[in-house]
Structure 1
Amino acid sequence: MFPIHDATTAPEASKPLLEQAKKNFGMIPNLERVMAESPALLEGYVHLWELFDTTSLSPIERQVVYQTANFQNQCEYCIPWHTKLSQLAGMAPNEIEALRQGTELADSKLEALRQFTKSLILNRGKIVEAELKAFFSVGYSSQQALEVILGIAVKTMSNYTNSIAGTPLDKAVEKLRWKKPIISMRENMDADAV
C-alpha cells in the first residue's frame, strides 16, 4: 500500500530531498523513500531533523532522545539506524545497548534525559512537576526541555510512518536488527505508574 520510491518514481517535490538524503547517508534510506509519497511529510521530517541538530543538546544527548522515542514507539526500523548513529556520535557501547534494551543508562545525566523523554512520551506531555525538577537538577535547562519535544516530534514522524508502512530495514543496518525485548512485570508496573 505504501510505495518505496526512488529518484525516478518519487513525486517531483520529493526528488531534491531524496538527493539530499543520498548525500547525507551515501544512499537513500527506505524511510525517506516511503515518506517521498508525501512531499510535505518528507520535507517536514528533513527540516525538523536539521533543526534538532542545531539545538544545545550534544550529538549523544540527541541520540538518547531519539532512541528513547524509538524504543517507546517500538520502531524496529529506527532502532538499528540510531544504533549506528549513536556509534558514530561516540556513545559508549554499554549506553547504546542500554538504550536498545530500554534499561537504565550508567551516565546519570543521560539517564535523567532518558527518563524525561520517556515520561513525556508515555504521559503525552503531561509529566508531574517532580519529573521536571529531576531533569533540571542534573543541569538541563528549560530550553533543553523544549528541545526534547522537538526531538520527539522528529521521531513521531518516522516511527509512525514505519509503523503504518512496515518499512523494510536497509541492508546498511541489517546486522543491527532489533526486536523489542520482553520486559519484566516490575518494569511494566513502573511504566504504567509513570
Structure 2
Amino acid sequence: MSRLAPLTPETAVGVSRDLLTDLTTRHGRIGEMVSTMAHSPALLTGYLQLSRAMKRAKLSRKAGERVSIAVQAQQGCGLCMDAHVAAARAHGIPEDEIQRAKAGTSADPATAAIIDLGLRVYRNPTAVTDEHIAALRDHGYSNREIADVVGIVALNLLTGAFNLVAGLTPEDDPEQ
C-alpha cells in the first residue's frame, strides 16, 4: 500500500501542478510514481530531466534494459522491475536473457561486461578499475556508452528508491 498519496493537477500546487498539467495534457494519464513524486517539485523536475536525457543515451536500449533489470534485482523495486522486464520483452530480449540479467549476467560476454559495470556502479563504484574499463573498450564500448551506464544506474537508483520509500508496488499502478 502506498505511503504517499498520488497528486493530480487539481491537488498539486505550484511547479508540481504545472508539471502534472503538462504531462497529463501531453500523455493523457501519468503513472503512480510520477504523480506521487509531485510532492517534491525538485525531485519530479530532476527525474523528468534525467529521464529525458537518458533517452538520448548511446548505449543500446537492449543493453540498458538489462543493466536496469540487474540493478532492480538488487534494489528490490517490483514496480521498476516489472517496467524494465516489459521494456526488455518489447525490445525482443529473450526470456532466458531476462533471467540472466536478473542474475547479473548474460550469455553474451560483452553484455555480461556492461551489466557487471552497472552492478559495480550500483554497489561500489570504487570497485571499477582501469582493467574493467579497458575490458569494456575491448568489447567495443565507447566512452560515451560507459558513461551512459552511470546515468542508467542513477535513474534506477532514483526511481527504485523513491518507489520503495513511497510504498509503491505494481498493484498501485494500473499501467503496469
Question: Per the shorter chain, which TM-score range?
Answer: 0.7 to 0.9
Q: Secondary structure at the match of 2:7?
A: coil
The alpha carbon displacement at 1:16 in A equals 4.4
The alpha carbon displacement at 1:116 in A equals 0.9
1-side partners of 2:77 and 2:136: how far apart? 25
Which of 50, 62, 87 aligns to 1:48? It is 50
Of 68-77 and 14-23, deviating more is 14-23
- Which consecutive unaligned segments of at least 5 residues does structure 2 have? none
The alpha carbon displacement at 1:148 in A equals 0.9
The alpha carbon displacement at 1:92 in A equals 2.3
2-side partners of 1:153 and 1:103: how far apart? 17
The residue correspondences of 1:5-20 to structure 2 (distance < 5 A) are 5-18=7-20, 19-20=22-23
Structure number with higher relative contact order (C-alpha < 8 Å, ≥ 6 residues apart): 2
Q: Which residue of 1 aligns with 2:117?
A: 116
Q: Are the equivalent residues in 2 in contact too, given 1:31–1:162 (CA < 8 A)?
A: yes
Q: Are the equivalent residues in 1 in contact too, given 2:9–2:17 (CA < 8 A)?
A: yes
Q: Secondary structure at the match of 1:172?
A: coil
Q: Which residue of 2 aligns with 1:158?
A: 159
1:3-28: per-residue Cα shift (whole Å, max 9, x none)?
Answer: 2212322233223433426745x632
Q: For residue 152 of structure 1, what is the amino acid of its counterpart? A: V
Q: Are the equivalent residues in 1 in contact too, given 2:105–2:111 (CA < 8 A)?
A: no
Q: For residue 130 of structure 1, what is the amino acid of its counterpart? A: E
1-side partners of 2:4 and 2:121: how far apart? 30
Q: Which residue of 1 aligns with 2:143?
A: 142
How many residues align? The count is 171
- Which consecutive unaligned segments of at least 5 residues does structure 1 have? 174-194
Q: Secondary structure at the match of 1:171?
A: coil
